[in-house]
Structure 1
Amino acid sequence: MRIAFSAAIYHIWGERNARIHGEPHNHKQALLRRILGCIRDIILFLKLPDEPSSRNFWFAKMLKFPLFTMERPHKECIWVKPDNTVIKLNLDASIVGDNAGIGGLLPNANGILMGLYSINVAPKPIHILKMEAIMHGLLLAKSKGITDVWIEADSMDAVRIINGEFDCPWQAIPMLKKIKVILRDFDKWFLTHVWREANSAADYLSKFDCPCKGMDIESMAILQALLDLVQQDFLGT
């Protein structure tokens, strides 16, 4: 559908310019044939991931266009246990409309929570929200006396920015500087990307309407739903 829309806009705009500047122009039927020909040529060299959507399938069937698909490889996503001396920091951020939240947790190698947080914050670009979640998680880990931390975030951009692999957007430079200062207080730290499917507990805590809120949540306020997610991660579900 996006290809069809783009092709239509491109050729209609070209036809409009031709008529404005007095150049030879096409009849509407000829213009339609050019648009359909463009769509067909692109689709012939295109492979869609997985199965086409119902709208794409209907559109292709109506115009008798072939659709070629390719199977997307499946990946096994599990939460990897840290070494006995290392505490993990899993974190996430979410934004819906005018509402945003960040959250994270500090599980050890035995799946025991050393701390967690869930905070409502002002909406920002998602990669900056993820960096804000990292900053709050590091501050919490520092307050718990943790010296070796393995940080996992499901934002590849945030991970690469902090690891120095990407240039930092100017809006996030103040946040990056704060994170770098906090990291100096740890003996060892690692920051890696994790797939969302292996970060479900942090995702739960980041939701704006998460029932448990606060910078450092007391153990008595931890909901069973969250404990179940932590246990599933620990078991490698």
Structure 2
Amino acid sequence: MRSSHLCYPSPEEGIPEVREELKNRPWGLVTYRTAYGGHSDRQFLKLRELIHKMVLKFQESDDKRCPMGQADWPVVENKKLLSNVTTQVVREQFSKWASDRGVPSTEDGWKYQVGRFHYCLFADRRSLKSAETTFPIVGVLYKDWLPPWHPDKIGYGAKYVPGDWTPIEGNPDGDVGWFYSRVVSLDWLYDLMCVRGLYGKTPRLPCGRPPYVVHSPSKLRRWRGDKAEGHYRTPS
């Protein structure tokens, strides 16, 4: 029996040729490691093992709504290039990764409307620490996000009004272009990304402002491992 959270339309009602193409394409998200030193090698290995277990479990489940080919969850590790970088640097690297695989900047083709080319994962220090807890998490980053002060975001002639959240990488708004997800939630998140793309919708997902964690389709949980930024609005 299918899980109750899979409430979006069935791709059987979609475009047959698109579904036929997707079933032969690799599925999965690329992971960027941004934390190094200390016990991070061991922690990152553990995190990769947890993601691998999630992938195997999802492949065996009946919850998939989009056809999927061979699993491919590549990893990018480069201490010199990625150590402690901002999410914008990760976004730039991911954009290049997608471009190198033939994804056009407009991404208006059906075969590119899948989660693989819109989202990536990143393992920061908080994610690596969580790998050794009962609540492992990983960062999920949206490639096509624009900052709230971008002209295309605020519209012609409009003025940007800063939000009143504690800034994350200088962004005081609620939408920062990425979120934390439980590792065990990556399966339905990926499926939802692809289903939205299959129906011609932007594969944008509802998410919580870091360091809140996407726990289930309708639930957020607070990461309690540290007093991380971003929980509260600044005092008025």
Q: Mark yes or no: TM-score above 0.5.
A: no
TM-score, normalized by length of structure 2? 0.24
> TM-score w.r.t. structure 1 length?
0.24
Which has the larger helix fraction?
Answer: 1
Could you say which structure has the higher strand fraction?
1
